[in-house]
Amino acid sequence: MRAYDLILKKREGNELSKEEIKFLIDGFTNGKIPDYQMSALSMVIYFKGMNDRETADLTMAMAESGDQIDLSEIKGVKVDKHSTGGVGDTTSLVLVPLVAAAGIPVAKMSGRGLGHTGGTIDKLESIPGFKTDLSMDRFIDNVNEIKAAIAGQTGNLTPADKKLYSLRDVTATVDSIPLIASSIMSKKIAGGADGIVLDVKVGSGAFMKTLENAEKLAEIMVRIGEKLGRDTTAVLTDMEQPLGHAIGNNLEVKEAIDTLKGEGPEDLTELCLTLGANMLKIAGQVENYQKGYQLLEKLIENGKAFEKFKKLVQKQGGDVSYIKDPDKFKKSENFTEIKAKASGYLSQLKALDIGMAAMLVGAGREQKGDQILNEVGVVVHQKYGKKVLKGEKIATLYHNEENENTKEAIDKLNNSFIINEETPKSRDLIYKIIE
């Protein structure tokens, strides 16, 4: 086989076989197929697409390009969750202990963030002493003992995907649905879970801007999961505004604690209950989604979900006193209040710009080597559809020294909240569930 012939074959609109796809991925991973040929293939796939069988074969080839995690020693059905990313996305910190409190083992491999705020690992490491670099033996033991563990991803998980994404990023081929789907699902397959719940974000603050494209992506990922023997459910959720109120590591950990206590934002709570209920259904813990939702509500009300989070933190070396008293988390003493420019109804919150404002003051990474400042970020006080008065506080930016980045962040926030006289149409948080 030659890469040239396979690129030509795909360019002419023909299907690639499983063996041909594996040849391309293996050759690219080990350096035998150069970047320029794989870039050409990515562009061909962008224009010609892939059918379900090809996309599933591409997913498996990338999953097999590096380590594959064996979770067979963990008792029970292991269900993982993945979010396509958004602004103020704190769900994993709530979901893992919540679902574990229902008796379902949650073995969560997470990454660091590149963008508005830190990833799940960054957020957890803002808890003093919390360790995410667990050995596989300890990771499995923790899940068997307390039903939950969250660790950083292994360095050799899906290396083909890492290499391919770097090329897609600089060749305008990122937004190809088969390539997005295989990228996401390859990591989940390699992660060893028996079932997968996908939180597919839709809107201005998400990667998928339209419901139509998000639905296409969700459907193909569910079909990939089915073809590869993983029970998969996708939940399409709104990201026209930040989820919850907090954006920034310490702020988000505190909000997760509030949510586990039953005192969190309505939208974050609803999303976690919805995703968690689907995880319970896949694991066979409940007959249907509604019973799962009700069970998880009870676990928040009776305090068992919060107790599970404390056990998780303690088990991984974290200082539980911060969980018992979240006011111990440092918050920048410097802050700027963003106030409503007019009276009326909040008809738009530009989620992406709000996230970018948080990143500008150090709550996220613009480049991989950037250091995240745990104490900074944004708190959104008023959400979509709320009536506000001119001069009323609608957001607070927590920052350190004032510099050009701070000024730019303030400008972004001032322009992120659109107020109109008329009441905007109501908008759903959960658009659709695809099983």
Catalytic residue among 10, 82, 315, 399: 82
Active site residue 116: no
Q: Which two tokens stand for residue 109?
A: 């491999």
Interatomic CA distance for residues 45 and 39, integer angstroms? 10
Interatomic CA distance for residues 306 and 262, integer angstroms? 9
Q: Which two tokens stand for residue 138?
A: 């300890």
Q: Residue 328 in 3-state DSSP?
A: helix
Active site residue 183: yes
Q: Residue 395 in 3-state DSSP?
A: strand
Catalytic residue among 65, 176, 183, 332: 183
- Give the other-Cβ count within 10 Å of 155's Cβ: 9
Interatomic CA distance for residues 329 and 25, integer angstroms? 45
Q: Is 17 left (phi over 0), alpha (psi -120 to 50) or beta?
A: beta
Could you please report the per-residue DSSP string of 55-93? HHHHHHHHHTTSB----TTS-S--EEEEE---SS--HHH
**Dihedral sign from CA coordinates of 45, 178, 2, 16:** negative
Catalytic residue among 78, 81, 147, 168: 168
For residue 341, how far is the Cα from the chain centroid? 33
Catalytic residue among 10, 123, 147, 187: 187
Active site residue 223: no
What pairing do the DSSP bridges indicate for beta strands 387-388 and 106-110?
A: unpaired
Q: Which two tokens stand for residue 370?
A: 């950037």
Q: Catalytic residue numbers?
A: 82, 161, 168, 183, 187
